[in-house]
Chain A
Amino acid sequence: MSDKAKTNASPMRAGSMSLTLTPWIVAALLLMVLPFIFNNNSSITIMNQMWITVIFALAYNMLLGQGGMLSFGHAVYMGMGGFLCMHVMNYVEDFGLALPLPLLPLFGGLFGMGCAMLIGAISTSGAGTRFAMISLGIGELVAACSVIIVAFFGGEEGISGDRTYGLPFFGIEFLKQIEVYYLISFWLMLSAALMYLFSRTPVGRMANAVRDNPERAQFLGYSSRWVRFYSFMASGFFCGIAGGLFAINYEILTEENLNTASSGIILLVTFLGGVGFFFGPIIGAIAFTLLQTVLSLETELWAFYAGALFLATVMYFPGGLAGLIMMHVPSYRFGNANKLFVPYIKTLIPGLITVLGSAALVEMIFHYRHGSVGDNEMTLFWITFDSHALVPWIVVSVITGVAFYITKTTAPALKEAWGDANTPPTSGGAS
């Protein structure tokens, strides 16, 4: 009997195993190859920031997506981990201890977990408004402490250190950005894998159960409070790791790293990426970091666009970018994905022009109102023109208006094609 069961189970398991391993291998290879493709220093700096944000966002989603807990003060755990690592780094430098730099984030993780245990003991008794309010209060409290407890937080200028003073790790001194890049990538792979595995353990599964129906979970023998507490602890650990990597990468931490604004950003990042899927926060962190770094070079108004994108996500795609991608899985399975191609082009290209046109108008208003006196020339999309003349305004308005009109008229056809593509191919089978 057991033999039969084994033969039934093992091929299935082996199959699912290779299926789940593929994205991890691809991700690891990408992490290794990316610095050779984007090999200038600023790209590597952006990627370092990106991967740190990915760890932080994944850790945040252990609460928001997996456990149904909305935290408004999660930067605290990353910040605390970072501050501790900064102190350890300086301590190692002053006393010449034998602590290799790559192990430093572990201290951040443990300290983040310790803080999460303390605060989680109070806050995890519920998941709703109470939890959110406590997290907000704690966030404000710690941010305020940063100017009071100067010995730990360094007051307004924060604390800084030098990562290269420690022991060389197999000859690597972490002088170059690229060395830090691989250190961060290593911790990213490790943390992401551990967080993924956590969601597959009994306590990780029960975190989902408690999120969906805390009362039912209680009647299955699980205290919803303890389940939340363990998720909170694990999340604090990985936030602390992200904080430690931040300390290594930037060599400075300030109050900004743990204030409410930073907490707000990680909520935004995670939601933008999509809380419903494990890989959602990864996409969110990549998209947001690109907005923050690349777009901010182009325009001062990048935060305005990030805000608008967030608003659009909440209103129209609550599943986030990951949800948007996964929406297409059924039509792909039915073999109908190609039916969507033409309608998408017909609607999305004018849609894109509408968005860019609106952005151009926003930029022009901004330039008109805030440009220095006499400086009437502005450049948008590689075209230089006079923002005080009438013609550019008319041209941009007309283009935007027409594009919007086309988007609107082609949208119903897209909707129809969407419905069509998501209908199972069999005509009359009840299978």
Chain B
Amino acid sequence: MTAALELSGLTKSFGKAEIIRGVDLSIGKGERHAIIGPNGAGKSTLFNLITGRFAQTAGKISLHGSDLAGLEPYQINRMGLSRSFQITNIFPAMTVFENVRCSLLWSMGYKYSFWNLVASSKKLTDGADEILEQINLTERRNLPAGVLSYAEQRALEIGITIAGGADVIMLDEPTAGMSHSETDYIVDLIRKVTENKTLIMVEHDMGVVFGLADYISVLVYGEIIATGRPEEVRGNPKVQEAYLGEALEAEH
């Protein structure tokens, strides 16, 4: 079975600074995979490489077995990979409903159509309302997205990310900056909406990571020093030394 996402020998340099230094990683279909590591380890860069925001210096990225080299973000998205951002990235001037509707357009086959009216498509309206139901924002439907609370905006971003029906979902620190109750809420939401999908996420909150992930990879200075089941990673002395000891201590 081909992996949902496979990275081999991936490197990225900005000038002389080597940020990603040879990453090999294989993520199977339906897996929930968390990438953890100290600040500046290159987690977000790794995300940006996979989603085509940056071009890699060397190495290969393949999604369901096909090479992503040279593809634009929108082409990668059409192949079934969708992502959220560390800093909330929505359409603040549009209504919540329109945010979701926009994210459905391509996957429902509307492409660059100028002969369909969005308002007269029941499929679009119902689809968007269904997503709003899933992310519990039905009551906020007609408000501009920019006036929502932070947690609601994050929920909306997750909604936008999953709406297109992508089967590989990448979330960049989905719970950053949230209170405990908000975090619990978002974790439940993520679990619900990524059912039967491949989830790859960067996260600092160890509670979230160990609660949600099937597999964990630890990225330190641009290299993956360990990959495995949560309990294996937790017990790994290298990880303890490089990162997790401090992180777990900081948690308690």
A residues within 8 Å of B by Cβ? 5, 9, 13, 16, 197-198, 200-206, 208-209, 212-213, 215-224, 226-227, 230, 234
State whether A219 touches B74 (Cβ < 8 A).
yes
Residues in chain B near residue A212, CB distance under 8 A: 91-94
Residue of B nearest to A2 (CB): B122
5 interchain pairs, CB-CB under 8 A? A197-B117, A201-B115, A208-B91, A209-B102, A219-B51
Residues in chain A near residue B82, CB distance under 8 A: 219
Residue of A nearest to B78 (CB): A221
Residues in chain A near residue B126, CB distance under 8 A: 5
Is there a chain A Cβ closer than 8 Å to B62's Cβ? no
State whether B77 touches A206 (Cβ < 8 A).
no
CA distance A220 to B73 in the complex (A): 9
Is there a chain A Cβ closer than 8 Å to B118's Cβ? yes
CA distance A200 to B124 in the complex (A): 13
State whether A202 touches B111 (Cβ < 8 A).
yes
State whether B89 touches A220 (Cβ < 8 A).
no
Since A198-B114, A201-B114, A230-B114 are in contact, a sample of 5 more A-B pairs with Cβ atoms closer than 8 Å, ordered by chain A residue number, is A5-B122, A201-B113, A205-B98, A212-B92, A221-B74
B residues within 8 Å of A by Cβ? 51, 53, 72-74, 77-78, 82-83, 89-94, 98, 101-103, 105-107, 110-120, 122, 125-126, 160, 164
Residues in chain A near residue B77, CB distance under 8 A: 218-221
Residues in chain B near residue A197, CB distance under 8 A: 117
Residues in chain B near residue A206, CB distance under 8 A: 102, 105, 112
State whether A222 touches B125 (Cβ < 8 A).
no
CA distance A200 to B98 in the complex (A): 11
CA distance A335 to B116 in the complex (A): 37
Residue of A nearest to B120 (CB): A13
State whether A223 touches B107 (Cβ < 8 A).
no
State whether B113 touches A203 (Cβ < 8 A).
yes
Choose from A13, A201, A219 the contact partner of B118 (Cβ within 8 Å): A201
State whether B125 touches A203 (Cβ < 8 A).
no
Whole-angstrom distance between the Cβ of A66 and the nearest chain B Cβ: 12
Residues in chain B near residue A223, CB distance under 8 A: 72, 74
Residues in chain A near residue B125, CB distance under 8 A: 9
Q: Which 7 A-B pairs have the closest CB atoms?
A: A221-B106, A202-B110, A218-B73, A221-B77, A201-B114, A212-B91, A203-B112
Whole-angstrom distance between the Cβ of B248 and the nearest chain A Cβ: 33
Residue of A nearest to B119 (CB): A200
Residue of A nearest to B89 (CB): A216
Whole-angstrom distance between the Cβ of B147 and the nearest chain A Cβ: 14
CA distance A226 to B94 in the complex (A): 21
CA distance A198 to B90 in the complex (A): 23
Residues in chain A near residue B120, CB distance under 8 A: 13
State whether A202 touches B118 (Cβ < 8 A).
yes
State whether B114 touches A220 (Cβ < 8 A).
no
Whole-angstrom distance between the Cβ of A44 and the nearest chain B Cβ: 34
Residues in chain B near residue A227, CB distance under 8 A: 112
State whether A202 touches B122 (Cβ < 8 A).
no
State whether B106 touches A222 (Cβ < 8 A).
yes
State whether B112 touches A221 (Cβ < 8 A).
no
CA distance A208 to B118 in the complex (A): 13
Whole-angstrom distance between the Cβ of B86 and the nearest chain A Cβ: 13
If A218-B72, A220-B103 touch, whether A208 touches B113 (CB-CB below 8 Å) is: no
CA distance A408 to B90 in the complex (A): 41
CA distance A223 to B112 in the complex (A): 10
Residues in chain A near residue B78, CB distance under 8 A: 221
Residues in chain B near residue A9, CB distance under 8 A: 122, 125
State whether B118 touches A220 (Cβ < 8 A).
no
Residues in chain A near residue B73, CB distance under 8 A: 215, 218-219
State whether B112 touches A220 (Cβ < 8 A).
no
State whether A202 touches B112 (Cβ < 8 A).
yes
State whether B119 touches A216 (Cβ < 8 A).
no
Residues in chain A near residue B92, CB distance under 8 A: 212-213
State whether A226 touches B117 (Cβ < 8 A).
no
CA distance A340 to B115 in the complex (A): 44
Residue of B nearest to A204 (CB): B114
CA distance A144 to B231 in the complex (A): 73
CA distance A223 to B89 in the complex (A): 17
State whether A205 touches B51 (Cβ < 8 A).
no
State whether B89 touches A215 (Cβ < 8 A).
yes
If A222-B74, A223-B72, A226-B112 touch, whether A201 touches B117 (CB-CB below 8 Å) is: yes
Residues in chain A near residue B112, CB distance under 8 A: 202-203, 206, 226-227, 230
Residues in chain A near residue B118, CB distance under 8 A: 200-202, 205
CA distance A117 to B216 in the complex (A): 49
If A202-B111, A227-B112 touch, whether A221 touches B89 (CB-CB below 8 Å) is: no
State whether A213 touches B90 (Cβ < 8 A).
yes
If A202-B118, A203-B114, A226-B112 touch, whether A220 touches B94 (CB-CB below 8 Å) is: no
Whole-angstrom distance between the Cβ of B85 and the nearest chain A Cβ: 8
State whether B102 touches A234 (Cβ < 8 A).
no
CA distance A256 to B51 in the complex (A): 48
Residue of B nearest to A201 (CB): B114
Whole-angstrom distance between the Cβ of B168 and the nearest chain A Cβ: 13
CA distance A407 to B66 in the complex (A): 69
Residue of B nearest to A230 (CB): B112
CA distance A203 to B113 in the complex (A): 6
Whole-angstrom distance between the Cβ of A237 and the nearest chain B Cβ: 11
Residues in chain B near residue A217, CB distance under 8 A: 74, 102
Choose from B93, B106, B117, B119 the contact partner of A220 (Cβ within 8 Å): B106
Whole-angstrom distance between the Cβ of A227 and the nearest chain B Cβ: 7
CA distance A5 to B89 in the complex (A): 32
Residues in chain A near residue B101, CB distance under 8 A: 205
